[in-house]
């Protein structure tokens, strides 16, 4: 309450001191601003105090809980946007007509309310150091002229303006009965049931690529984007009405997913503290740095980074578990007590707590935990070698130099080995092409459409089964295959059931699931998605569609036009890009008009180009994003001066297969970890896998 009174006093002082600063066109009196601000502040703080009730917000909330700095900024943005909404509602009633916020407030008044809400002021370029040798942990000041481009807790980039039902905040589908091109938008669960849900057919296998391609995509997605959800989510578990921050997924009457309930809970993404003086449209936040910088290993905030380090080490090491060992190799440190699942029948003394890492989603599925663990081991391996090579270096220099190398390897593996496979070599050359240097005019921030739609193409390639393989790459005798559900939030399965090696062999030796129009997503994701703070099964396809509407993403046709493709105006046009008459019939029956198609679904339905795993639209959007992440990164590994020519040469010899060889018990690997490989003919001994020579990092001073 003291905080509320202090903030309210500030508002009163602001209003008293700045009456003359409001434009004459402003339609709201200061008293209305004060009351709306006070109401918003109390509402957000009261909701937040209930938001992490351990009885309601158990597993999922904890596993995806953003850093404290992000939570603070989310709270500030929610106060600001709720205040704008209340002002709009009250003023519209007073004037007996619908009003936009931009009609009510001057830009100066809106910006002052944002500041009072706790939104930070713009960062002045002059605050950026001129001689920083290493990238900041948050990504701030990567671009010295625009310090927040790509930084953690900044807004997702908008490549097209948001489309909200009230022009400013309300998601598509918020107002019942609203029509688009003569049709109501279909319920997202209806779209999932008719267009996405798996048939009874067997999951097709990818003839070219391994399961590692799928899991690297999820891992690197977590390195560059994380949109936090609004605070005060617990009340969304008890309502089927659209009321901030709740935007529940409505369930068709004949749908059995939720039993007797008419909806499933959905929490809106937290707004971001950006653009308050411009369109006043709701924007969403990226709580991690946009750059491919291994923030999944090191975090995106100073506090998290420090907590992940072994500060007692003279070798710049990362912290590891002191409790468990994987054949002499370390696991990630644990956070306890935690809500991770436990081995059936185990007692309190046998608990295996959630792992901690640079990204809070580390425990979501076992392959993610495995990849996180690999890179922490690789950091410590390289740091130890650099320390022996350069005995004069202190722990901080060793840590930073190792972090720099690990970040470069993430960039190389992603851009050289991963991206061309998913978008196709031809599209890669068209949209990305060879590196031409750093361009300070390029905004590298992850875009809303990339994070919320295009890069979620990978959800349809998730396999319903995780195999575990022995040294001969056959089904493991002791550790059987797991259903997807059994891999959720279960670090105990690594600690108690064979460590990383059986899972790594499966990622290398098993094919990826192949998306096609008859099998877009496994039923474990559309019918049995596990989220433990919610008592019902969820539907990932419906959640993806609802998230796109929550973010106000323009539709499929608008993004086709953005990429220079022709708009789909008819069934015959759809047939050209989709290629399946049955899919065209279903999508038109569901949406009524091509302009209404959600971008995530439209992109998925397009036929992939030869050698690609995405259609033309997603290839364009992914390509544009990856090029921006490369050209707009002042610390990109290829930029002259970031590494020496000899160091760049050595970095290119390294590979994900080499990282596996050096940090696990796997002794045979394919040279390309993402290629589908048959054992033993496509595998080589780790002794024959090239490795970089760290002599290039010897300090001769």
Which residues are the active-site residues? 222
In terms of C-beta density within 10 A (0-12 exposed, 13-18 middle, 19 or more buried), how is residue 30 classed? middle
Could you say which DSSP state residue 392 is in?
T
Could you say which DSSP state residue 467 is in?
-
CB burial string 606-640: b at 16+ within 10 A, e below: bebbeebbbbbbbbbbbbbbbbbbbbbbbbbbbbe
Beta strands in 324-442 (DSSP E): 325-326, 329-330, 334-335, 354-355
Q: How many CB atoms lie within 10 A of CB 541?
A: 27
User: What are the percentages of helix, strand and coil residues in the chain, rounded to 5?
Assistant: 45, 10, 45
Q: Which of helix, strand or coil describes residue 95?
A: helix
Gap between the Cα atoms of 169 and 284, Å rounded: 11
In terms of C-beta density within 10 A (0-12 exposed, 13-18 middle, 19 or more buried), how is residue 214 classed? buried
Give bridge partners of residue 529 from the DSSP assignment: 538
- All residues at 6 or more sequence positions from 442 whose CB lies less than 8 Å from its CB, including other chains: 628, 631, 632
Gap between the Cα atoms of 554 and 552, Å rounded: 6
109: Cα within 13 Å, side-chain hemisphere: 28
Please give the helix or strand (H or E) that residue 33 lies within, else none: helix 30-51
Length of the chain: 701
DSSP 172-214: TT-STT-EETTEEPPPHHHHIIIIIB--SSPPPEEEEEEHHHH
Tell me the two tokens of residue 586. Answer: 């279903």
Q: How many CB atoms lie within 10 A of CB 600?
A: 27
- All residues at 6 or more sequence positions from 517 whose CB lies less than 8 Å from its CB, including other chains: 578, 579, 580, 582, 583, 605
Gap between the Cα atoms of 298 and 621, Å rounded: 27
Gap between the Cα atoms of 460 and 464, Å rounded: 11
Asked whether 116 and 10 are in contact (CB, 8 A), the reply is yes
Alpha-helix residue ranges (DSSP H) falling in 390-491: 395-412, 419-423, 425-431, 448-452
Is the preceding omega at residue 548 within 30 degrees of 0, hence cis? no
Is the preceding omega at residue 83 within 30 degrees of 0, hence cis? no
């Amino acid at each position: 309450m003291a905080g509320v009174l202090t903030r309210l006093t500030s508002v009163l002082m602001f209003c008293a001191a700045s009456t003359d600063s409001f434009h004459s066109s402003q339609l709201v009196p200061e008293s209305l601003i004060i009351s709306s601000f006070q109401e918003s502040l109390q509402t957000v703080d009261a909701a937040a105090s209930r938001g992490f009730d351990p009885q309601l917000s158990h597993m999922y909330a904890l596993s995806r809980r953003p850093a404290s700095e992000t939570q603070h900024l989310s709270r500030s943005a929610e106060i600001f946007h709720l205040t704008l909404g209340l002002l709009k509602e009250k003023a519209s009633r007073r004037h007996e007509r619908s009003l936009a916020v931009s009609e009510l407030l001057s830009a100066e008044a809106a910006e002052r309310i944002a500041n009072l809400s706790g939104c930070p002021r713009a960062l002045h370029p002059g605050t950026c150091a001129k001689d920083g040798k290493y990238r900041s942990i948050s990504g701030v000041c990567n671009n010295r002229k625009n310090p927040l481009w790509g930084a953690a807790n900044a807004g997702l980039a908008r490549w097209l303006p948001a489309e909200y039902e009230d022009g400013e905040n309300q998601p598509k589908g918020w107002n019942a009965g609203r029509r688009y091109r003569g049709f109501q938008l279909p319920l997202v669960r209806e779209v999932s049931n008719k267009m996405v849900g798996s048939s009874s057919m067997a999951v097709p296998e990818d003839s070219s690529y391994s399961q590692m391609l799928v899991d690297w995509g999820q891992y690197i997605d977590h390195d560059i984007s994380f949109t936090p959800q609004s605070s005060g989510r617990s009340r969304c578990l008890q309502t089927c009405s659209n009321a901030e921050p709740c935007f529940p997924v409505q369930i068709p009457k004949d749908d059995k997913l939720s039993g007797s309930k008419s909806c499933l809970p959905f929490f809106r993404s937290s707004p971001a503290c950006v653009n308050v003086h411009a369109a006043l449209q709701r924007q969403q936040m990226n709580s991690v740095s946009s750059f491919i910088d291994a923030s999944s290993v090191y975090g995106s905030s100073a506090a998290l980074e420090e907590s992940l380090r072994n500060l007692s080490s003279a070798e710049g090491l990362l912290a590891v578990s002191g409790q468990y060992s994987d054949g002499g190799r370390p696991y990630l440190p644990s956070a306890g007590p935690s809500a991770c699942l436990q081995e059936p029948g185990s007692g309190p003394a046998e608990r295996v707590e959630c792992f901690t890492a640079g990204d809070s989603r580390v425990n979501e599925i076992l392959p993610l935990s495995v990849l996180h663990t690999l890179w922490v081991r690789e950091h410590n391996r390289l740091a130890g070698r650099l320390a022996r090579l350069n005995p004069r270096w202190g722990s901080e220099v060793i840590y930073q130099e190792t972090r720099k190398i690990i970040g470069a390897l993430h960039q190389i593996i992603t851009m050289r080995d991963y991206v061309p496979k998913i978008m196709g070599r031809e599209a890669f050359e068209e949209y990305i092409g060879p590196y031409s240097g750093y361009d300070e005019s390029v905004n590298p921030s992850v875009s809303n459409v990339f994070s919320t739609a295009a890069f979620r193409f990978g959800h349809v390639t998730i396999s319903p089964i995780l195999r575990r393989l022995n040294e001969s790459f056959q089904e493991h005798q002791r550790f059987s295959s797991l259903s997807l559900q059994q891999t959720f939030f279960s670090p105990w399965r690594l600690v108690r059931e064979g460590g990383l090696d059986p899972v790594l062999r499966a990622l290398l030796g098993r094919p990826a699931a192949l998306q096609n129009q008859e099998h877009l997503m496994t039923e474990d994701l559309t019918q049995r998605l596990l989220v433990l703070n919610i008592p019902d099964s969820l539907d990932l396809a419906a959640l993806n569609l609802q998230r796109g509407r929550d973010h106000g993403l323009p539709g499929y046709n608008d993004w086709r036009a953005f990429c220079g493709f022709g708009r789909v105006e008819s069934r015959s046009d759809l047939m050209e890009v989709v290629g399946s008459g049955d899919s065209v019939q279903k999508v038109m029956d569901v949406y009524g008009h091509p302009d209404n198609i959600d971008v995530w679904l439209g992109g998925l339905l397009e036929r992939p180009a030869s050698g690609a795993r995405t259609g033309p639209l997603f290839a364009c959007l992914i390509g544009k994003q990856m090029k921006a992440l490369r050209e707009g990164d002042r610390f990109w590994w290829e930029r002259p001066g970031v590494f020496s020519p000899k160091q760049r040469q050595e970095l290119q010899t390294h590979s994900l297969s080499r990282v596996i060889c050096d940090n696990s018990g796997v002794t045979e690997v394919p040279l390309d970890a993402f290629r589908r490989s048959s054992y033993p003919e496509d595998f080589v001994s780790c002794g024959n896998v090239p490795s970089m020579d760290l002599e290039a990092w010897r300090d001769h001073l």
